[in-house]
Chains A and B, each alone.
Chain A
Amino acid sequence: MPNIAVFIEQRDGALKKVAWQMISEARRIADANGGEVWGVLLGGDAAAAATEAGKYGADKVFTAGGDVFTTYNSEAWGTALANFVTANSPDMLMVGSTAMGKDLGPKAAAKLGCACISDAVGVTYADGFEVRRPIFAGKCFVDVVPQTPVCVVGIRPNAFVMAEKAAAGAAEAFDAGTDGVDLKATVQSVEAADGGKVELTEAEVIVSGGRGIKGPENYALIETLADSLGAAAGASRAVVDAGWVDYSHQVGQTGKTVGPNLYIACGISGAIQHLAGMSSSKCIVAINKDANAPIFKVADYGVVADLFDVVPALTDAVGKLKG
């Protein structure tokens, strides 16, 4: 009868969708094995989060408020999660593998002295948890078994399917125990990048450009198609290392590892380190002049043609489709 707690991430009150994906999966595990699903919210709007979490199957949402939860702080938020786990003894704490979660999960686990598993894509339960995660950026997977009574598991965005299944979703305050905590490193300000584009790791659709775009001036083709799809714009290492696009767009083993519903690779040959970072995408489209490019080996749909002809036409076609 495993009880699973799910960290509901909020930044400036906005709740991350990965929380609902995790609650949906936790609900499926709980329904098959007994046990409860709990949300955990630090700061933000407790009532709104509880209502939303309840839609996806959370029995309860534990909430803690206070100034310390206005801005992310590893020390305070890690202490709060560790105190929550100690007081309520869930069998697993799921934390989304976001910028915040990748920092907070290990921090909380270190305070608890418990197992921590990063960037998982699968969780199963039979007398205990088994967790599947990619290694070598997805060239291989590993199935691991936590050896401590509770474990912290980072969950990759889009790994789990969101499904509505109503449950109580009752908000309940808990004592975070963060009064007087030494905050150590503190966030002074948060600065948005130009444009407010869709972020890669959480994107449901990604359009990426490779060396085939020929120069930085042509990356706009990729961005325009991405915009028409509400997608994030990615890039291969070659494009980033050439200085055509900021490194934060890089997909691959030395960039972001992604698993969107749709990945459109334009002018990307498909070097092994790039394929590693994106081949868990649910649907892959390759647009490349070279019919022998390795990218076609992982693609579901392929267009062997010049991206300069196909990509603008695809932008038009998507525009018409979306009306």
Chain B
Amino acid sequence: MKIAVCVKQVPDSETRINLAAPAAELDQSGFTRILNPYDAYAVEEAVKIKEAGGEVEITAITLGPDTVKETLKKDCLAVGCDKAVIITDPALDGADEAAIATVLAAALKRETYDLILFGIKAIDDDSGQVGILVAEHLGLPHVSTITHLEMGDGTLTAHREIEGGKEVVTATLPAVLTCQKGLNEPRLPSLPNIMKAGMKPQETVTCADLGIDVPANLVQIKQYAPPAARGECKLIDAEDPAAAARELARLLNEEAKVI
């Protein structure tokens, strides 16, 4: 069985965006970069399937500059992925979801994967599209936002998170899944495994190597803008908590008109 896990390196969730006014570019140069937290669930699930037995090979695939190699090594190869493919092409800087999906689909077509895993979304762009777009490119079934997975013989059953409950979804392999928090608890890499991960194969390819032209963006970024400034906080005298609670309820009802 062959599993592909498509991952992205993103700025850490503690990152502060310092943008005072609308700007055409967003300077991301100083950001600490990590494996997208949702992709860690995808990696972990692939490793769990491998540990359950049988011949399983896991390939981590990413798109980005050379600096993604450290993340791939530590958070993918050192926790159980067998090899990595990095799609690096300066022409892909600023590629949108549709372009990234086209490129990933081309990379995925080079092998016959039984299962292709994604995180539900990257915590920088917050789009949550790429896994679903890739499934359509490849003509495969997909289940998005999964919180539970059982593998059968050439089939899978997944739980998909919906409002107030879940859908129990079945599909035949090959299939694409996008992984949500709650699916598993990603393990941390051990130091010896990080050392050994350096020996695992990492292949770097360009769009030309994949036999495709650099895809056009379907969405153009006009500008980045900071969130609207919030007003002053009105502090309620809290010497008597019960009175403070009554005053708060009154303000929310009469002034803010939200309850």
A209 vs B253: C-alpha distance when bound (angstroms): 22
Residues of chain B contacted by A273 (CB below 8 angstroms):
13-14
Q: Say whether A132 faces chain B, with CB atoms less than 8 Å apart.
A: yes
Q: Are the CB atoms of B248 and A147 closer together than 8 Å?
A: no
Interface segment out of the listed A22-30, A33-41, A161-169, A183-191: A183-191
Q: With A103-B145, A262-B259, A282-B258 in contact, do A310 and B244 touch (Cβ < 8 Å)?
A: yes
A256 vs B175: C-alpha distance when bound (angstroms): 26
Q: Are the CB atoms of B127 and A247 closer together than 8 Å?
A: no
A104 vs B225: C-alpha distance when bound (angstroms): 28
Q: With A116-B98, A262-B258, A305-B238 in contact, do A317 and B222 touch (Cβ < 8 Å)?
A: no
Count chain A residues whose beta carbon lies closer than 8 angstroms to a beta carbon of B.
100
Q: With A136-B15, A139-B16, A310-B245 in contact, do A144 and B171 touch (Cβ < 8 Å)?
A: no
Interface residues of A in 92-135 (CB under 8 A from B): 98-100, 102-103, 105-107, 109-111, 114-119, 130, 132-135
Q: Identify A190's interface contact among B162, B216, B225, CB under 8 A.
A: B162
Q: Are the CB atoms of A74 and B230 closer together than 8 Å?
A: no
Q: Say whether A257 faces chain B, with CB atoms less than 8 Å apart.
A: yes
A47 vs B182: C-alpha distance when bound (angstroms): 40
Q: Are the CB atoms of A110 and B233 closer together than 8 Å?
A: no
The residue of chain B having its C-beta at the shortest distance from the C-beta of A231 within the complex is: B259
Residues of chain B contacted by A142 (CB below 8 angstroms):
221, 223-225
Interface segment out of the listed A61-69, A197-205, A215-223: A197-205
Interface residues of A in 256-281 (CB under 8 A from B): 257, 261-262, 271-273, 276, 279-280
The residue of chain A having its C-beta at the shortest distance from the C-beta of B183 within the complex is: A247
Residues of chain A contacted by B144 (CB below 8 angstroms):
74, 102-103
Residues of chain B contacted by A199 (CB below 8 angstroms):
163-164
Q: Are the CB atoms of B162 and A254 closer together than 8 Å?
A: no
Interface segment out of the listed B57-65, B78-86, B129-137, B193-201: B129-137
Q: Are the CB atoms of B17 and A136 closer together than 8 Å?
A: yes
Q: With A148-B218, A184-B171, A196-B164 in contact, do A136 and B124 touch (Cβ < 8 Å)?
A: yes
Q: Say whether B217 faces chain A, with CB atoms less than 8 Å apart.
A: yes
Q: With A139-B17, A247-B181 in contact, do A187 and B167 touch (Cβ < 8 Å)?
A: yes
Q: With A147-B218, A303-B244 in contact, do A185 and B126 touch (Cβ < 8 Å)?
A: no
Residues of chain A contacted by B17 (CB below 8 angstroms):
136, 139-140
Q: Are the CB atoms of A253 and B168 closer together than 8 Å?
A: no
Q: With A300-B233, A301-B251 in contact, do A310 and B241 touch (Cβ < 8 Å)?
A: yes
Residues of chain A contacted by B163 (CB below 8 angstroms):
98-99, 199, 201-202
Q: Say whether B205 faces chain A, with CB atoms less than 8 Å apart.
A: no
Q: Are the CB atoms of A140 and B26 closer together than 8 Å?
A: yes
Q: Are the CB atoms of A146 and B218 closer together than 8 Å?
A: yes
Q: Are the CB atoms of A135 and B126 closer together than 8 Å?
A: yes
Looking at A114, A139, A199, A311, the one whose CB has the most chain B CB atoms below 10 A away is A139
Interface residues of B in 98-128 (CB under 8 A from A): 98, 101, 123-128
Residues of B contacting A: mostly: mixed
Residues of A contacting B: mostly: mixed
Q: Are the CB atoms of A110 and B161 closer together than 8 Å?
A: no
Count chain B residues whose beta carbon lies closer than 8 angstroms to a beta carbon of A.
80
Smallest Cβ distance from B9 to chain A, in angstroms?
Answer: 14
Interface segment out of the listed A52-60, A171-179, A291-299: A291-299
Q: Say whether A170 faces chain B, with CB atoms less than 8 Å apart.
A: no
Residues of chain A contacted by B230 (CB below 8 angstroms):
279, 284, 297-298, 300
Q: Say whether B212 faces chain A, with CB atoms less than 8 Å apart.
A: no
Interface residues of B in 141-163 (CB under 8 A from A): 141-145, 157, 160-163
Q: Are the CB atoms of B218 and A303 closer together than 8 Å?
A: no
Q: With A301-B248, A317-B245 in contact, do A250 and B168 touch (Cβ < 8 Å)?
A: no
Q: Identify B244's interface contact among A75, A196, A257, A305, CB under 8 A.
A: A305
Q: With A191-B168, A301-B251 in contact, do A247 and B218 touch (Cβ < 8 Å)?
A: no
The residue of chain A having its C-beta at the shortest distance from the C-beta of B143 within the complex is: A185
The residue of chain A having its C-beta at the shortest distance from the C-beta of B218 within the complex is: A115
Smallest Cβ distance from A59 to chain B, in angstroms?
Answer: 28
Looking at B17, B133, B222, B233, the one whose CB has the most chain A CB atoms below 10 A away is B233
Q: Say whether B170 faces chain A, with CB atoms less than 8 Å apart.
A: yes
The residue of chain A having its C-beta at the shortest distance from the C-beta of B127 within the complex is: A118
Q: With A248-B161, A254-B181 in contact, do A300 and B246 touch (Cβ < 8 Å)?
A: no
9 tightest A-B CB contacts, nearest first: A184-B141, A313-B245, A110-B136, A309-B241, A317-B249, A185-B171, A305-B238, A115-B218, A185-B141
- Can you pick out 15 interface pairs between chain A and chain B where the beta carbons lie within 8 Å of each other? A118-B127, A143-B22, A143-B224, A143-B225, A145-B219, A147-B217, A185-B175, A187-B168, A188-B168, A229-B259, A247-B182, A297-B233, A299-B233, A301-B233, A303-B245
B residues bordering A, Cβ < 8 Å?
Answer: 11, 13-17, 19, 22, 26, 37-38, 97-98, 101, 123-129, 132-133, 136-137, 140-145, 157, 160-171, 175, 181-182, 216-227, 230-231, 233-236, 238, 241-242, 244-246, 248-253, 256, 258-259
